[in-house]
Amino acid sequence: MTGPEDTYGDEALAAEYVLRLLEAPDEQAFEARLREEPQLRALVAQWEDRFAPLADGLPGVPPSSRLRAAVLHAVGAGPAPRSGWLSGWRDRPVLRPVLAAAAIAVVAFGLFQSGPRDGTATGYRAELASEDRSVTLLARSDASADQMLVEVTAGSPPAGRVFELWLIADGAPGPVSLGVLDAGGETRITVPTALLAALPAGMLAVSDEPPGGSPTGSPTGTVIATGAVEAL
Amino acid sequence: MTPREDIERLIARVALRDQSAFAALYDVTSAKLFAVCLQVLDHRGEAEETLQEVYVRIWHKADSYAVTGHSPMTWLITVARNLAIDRIRRRRAATVAIDEAGAVADDRPGPEAAAIARSESSAIRACLDELETERADAVKRAYLHGETYKDLAQRYDVPLNTMRTWLRRSLMTLRECLTR
CATH 1.10.1740.10 fits B4-98, yes or no: yes
Task: Give yes or no for a contact between B7 and B26, defined as CB atoms under 8 angstroms apart.
Answer: no
CB contact under 8 A, B161 and A77: no
Give yes or no for residue B114 having a pLDDT over 80: no
Tell which wins on pLDDT, B47 or A4.
B47
Task: Please list the residue range(s) of chain A that carry CATH number 2.60.40.
Answer: 93-231
Interface of B with A in 52-81 (CB under 8 A): 52, 55-56, 59, 68-71, 73-74, 77-78, 80-81
Does the CB of B168 have a partner CB in chain A at under 8 Å? Answer: yes
**B52 to chain A: which residues are within 8 Å by CB?**
67, 70-71, 74
Sequence spans of domains, chain B: 4-98, 123-179
pLDDT at B158 > cutoff 90:
yes
pLDDT-derived band at A112, boundaries 50, 70, 90? very low
Topology of A93-231 in CATH? Immunoglobulin-like (2.60.40)
Residue A156 pLDDT > 90, yes or no?
no
Mean pLDDT of A125-142: 87
List C-alpha distances in Å: B155 to B88, B91, B94. Answer: 18, 19, 21
Q: Which residue has the higher pLDDT, A132 or A2?
A: A132
Which residue would you say has higher pLDDT here, A5 or B47? B47
pLDDT in tens, A191-214: 877 778 778 778 888 888 888 888
Cα-based distances in Å from A72 to A76, A108, A150: 6, 33, 31
pLDDT band at A98 (very low <50, low <70, confident <90, very high): low
Between A5, A59, A72, which is nearest B23 by CB?
A72
Mean pLDDT, rounded, for B143-167: 95
Q: Which CATH architecture has domain B123-179?
A: Orthogonal Bundle (1.10)
Kindly provide the b/e burial profile for residues A80-107, where b requires at least 16 CB atoms within 10 angstroms of the residue's own CB.
ebeebbbebbbbbebbeebbeebeeebe
Which of the four pLDDT bands, split at 50, 70 and 90, describes residue B103?
Answer: very low
pLDDT digits (tens, 9 = 90+) for B122-133: 789 999 999 999
A31 pLDDT above the threshold of 50: yes
Q: Are A191 and A146 in contact (CB under 8 A)?
A: yes
What is the average pLDDT across B73-77?
Answer: 95
Average pLDDT of the segment spanning A91-104: 51
Q: Coil, strand or helix: which one is B107? A: coil
Cβ(A193)–Cβ(A177) below 8 Å: no
Interchain proximity B3–A210, CB inside 8 Å: yes
Whether residue A57 and residue B117 make contact (CB cut-off 8 A), yes or no, is yes
pLDDT, average across residues B159-173: 95
Q: Do B19 and A68 touch (CB under 8 A)?
A: no
Q: Do B143 and A49 touch (CB under 8 A)?
A: no
Nearest CA-CA distance, residue B20 and chain A, Å: 6
